[in-house]
Amino acid sequence: MVKTYRKIKCKVSYDGTDYAGYQVQSNALTVQQLIEEAIEQIAKERTTIYASGRTDAGVHARGQVFHFRTACSIPVHKWPYAFVTKLPNDIVVWEAEEVPDDFHARFDVKEKIYRYSLMNRPFPDVFHRKYAWHVPYDLNLEAMRSAANYLIGEHDFTSFCSIKTDVEDKVREIYDISLEEHDEGRVWLTFRGNGFLYNMVRIMTGTLVKVGTGEWEPDRVRDILEACDRTAAGPTAPAQGLTLWEVKY
């Protein structure tokens, strides 16, 4: 009997604290591994899931998207309920829909939104230590906003990606960067763009914090972009402050 396959698109949230990132690795526990194992338990078939992109060790996701093909006859709306029974409580698949066979979770992405969380106050918050970077120095948010304006648009972001980046084309377009101040010292930096390089958001954040503390002037960011040199930019902000917020198609 010929099997009929469907393509399922899912949205998943996860706390990345205890994982070596999203992508499967041979010697460490990852989010992809656990989701694929859950599918195998549910559908009694082995499959590979394809996500909108990778997240590093310690990085979180609110709206990661992945797809997979399955011959399992479970109604699509029941997949999230099935996942709940097979995944740990720090990984939650909360939406599933059937999509055309030509859909691809990575190659069809139109926009990604990342949020980086700072805890800007003298002492750390014990309840946010896994989800924010504690910066105890006063930050000039207006200076950071001015610096962020240099990053908006289409640029070569060689200065703002890890030297381990394995892609040759480092041109990306940033649509918007916003900084929001909240109570108890929380600051959210939200980055919207058509794609991001390895460590790009964390390096942009580390650079903007350098401006916020007054160590660098805002227009230095323009010079850093033009340098196309990773050593010109600021530090890579800690992983725990970063969340893949949303993926748009």
Structural class in CATH, domain 111-248: alpha beta
pLDDT in tens, 1-42: 668 999 999 999 999 999 999 999 999 999 999 999 999 999
pLDDT digits (tens, 9 = 90+) for 36-89: 999 999 999 999 999 999 999 999 999 999 999 999 999 999 999 999 999 999
The model carries a pTM of 0.95
Known binding residues for substrate are: 114
CATH fit for domain 6-99, picks 3.40.50.1980, 3.30.70.580, 3.40.640.10, 2.160.20.10: 3.30.70.580
Closest Cα to residue 69, out of 23, 108, 101, 105? 101
The per-residue pLDDT for range 221-239, each reduced to its tens digit, is 999 999 999 999 999 999 9
Question: In this predicted model, which residue has the larger pLDDT, 3 or 176?
Answer: 176
Q: Do domains 6-99 and 111-248 have the same CATH topology?
A: yes
Q: At what angle do helices 79-86 and 31-43 cross, to 10 degrees?
A: 110
Dump pLDDT digits (tens) for 111-158: 999 999 999 999 999 999 999 999 999 999 999 999 999 999 999 999
Q: Round the average pLDDT of the chain to a whole number and report it.
A: 97
**Which residues participate in the annotated binding site?**
114
> Can you give the pLDDT at residue 1?
64
- Backbone φ, ψ for residue 52 (5° rounding): -65, -20
Among the options 18, 56, 101, 102, which is catalytic? 56
Can you read off the two tokens belonging to residue 79? 């997949």
Q: Which pLDDT does position 166 carry in this prediction?
A: 86
Q: Name 98's Cβ contacts closer than 8 Å, sequence gap at least 6.
A: 6, 7, 8, 9, 76
**Considering only CA atoms, which of 210, 153, 142 is closest in space to residue 176?**
153
- What is the residue extent of each domain of the chain? 6-99, 111-248
| 15 is annotated as an active-site residue | no
What is the SS3 assignment for 156?
strand
Map 108-145 to HEC letters.
Answer: CCCEEEEEEEEECCCCCCHHHCCCCEECCCCCCHHHHH
